[in-house]
Amino acid sequence: MIIDLRSDTVTKASKGMLDAMFSAEVGDDVFREDPTVNKLEERLATLFGKEKALFFPSGSMANQIAIKLHTQPGEQVICDKYAHIYNYEVGGVAFHSGASCKLIDGQRGMFTAEQVEEAINPSEYYYSQTRLVEVENTTNKGGGACWDFQEFEKIKTVCKRHNLGFHIDGARVWNAMVAKNEMPVQYGHTFDTISVCLSKGLGCPVGSVLIGDADIMKRSLSLRKLFGGNMRQIGYLAAAGLYALDHNIERLADDHKKAKEIGVELSTLSMIKKVEPIETNIVIFELNEDVDEAKFLNKLKENNIFIIGMGSRKLRMVTHLDYTDAMHNTLLEVLRKLK
């Protein structure tokens, strides 16, 4: 039994999902003739209360094109110091859009409307002009933390007052919605653009979707082509997304439950300095200074358990739909033996 908790991206398509993919009706999407991807895009646009949606091969590409839709070279994006667009997208904000990032020192990847107000540059010509505010929900480096939606609404008010765009990296937004009992249309009303991932918690092999109203999205198709992201018979992948929307959202609560149970067990280990608060499916914990991280990871590997390090003696586990009850029980037993 291999227990892979490195990420919720390691999942394999289920039989039901594969059946949906194999039976998908497809066409050439470069000609916009793939009926299944059109159905997925229309469904997600409607779900979030927006006019347009576009399928992408990755969340990073969806985020980077959203930034390019909102900004011009030399302008600035406000985001948290832990933001995925800043830390894990290969400097794409600078490379693709010629923009810079103004980093906010938030709490677990989240910040306040007041901090946004303070981060907006003055209007004088010798400043980089602030153009976009970007947030992430749930926060990856923040341990799967969920924003208070009221704070989103306050930030939106600041954005409107200063004529700024508002984008959300919703890589794990489905987890946030399940944990906080939120609805997609709330996000649609608050954000100008929304990227949602289908290949993390929802278990698809590939795919993210960028969602927004027609005006902001009118260049998204040509920019996807520019980035090399246009594909042909992608209905096979879109069918997986449609299946996931029907079958894999509500079950995210089970991933959250397992993550919290792992956290409880980790908190009893003397070698663990701290377990970060757990709201969704990400568990981040810190080893004591006298604990050898490599030896700790190797001990887990000896039991076919795989997790990742995040630097500064912090480690991460991520629960997902392929993490079974049997795997969960085995993991808890192994952790108990580490005491």
Rounded distance between C-alpha atoms, residue 264 and residue 75, angstroms: 45
pLDDT at site 128: 97
Contact 135, 147 (CB under 8 A): yes
pLDDT at site 312: 83
pLDDT at site 339: 72
Largest CA distance in the chain: 62
Joined together, the tokens standing for residue 116 give 């946004």
Rounded distance between C-alpha atoms, residue 187 and residue 189, angstroms: 5
For 1, 103, 194, 261, 304, the CA distances from 85, given in Å and listed in that order, are 35, 11, 14, 30, 32
pLDDT, tens digit only, all 339 positions of the chain: 999 999 999 999 999 999 999 999 999 999 999 999 999 999 999 999 999 999 999 999 999 999 999 999 999 999 999 999 999 999 999 999 999 999 999 999 999 999 999 999 999 999 999 999 999 999 999 999 999 999 999 999 999 999 999 999 999 999 999 999 999 999 999 999 999 999 999 999 999 999 999 999 999 999 999 999 999 999 999 999 999 999 999 999 999 999 999 999 999 999 999 999 999 999 999 999 999 999 999 999 999 999 999 888 999 999 999 999 999 999 999 999 987
pLDDT at site 311: 84
Rounded distance between C-alpha atoms, residue 54 and residue 62, angstroms: 9
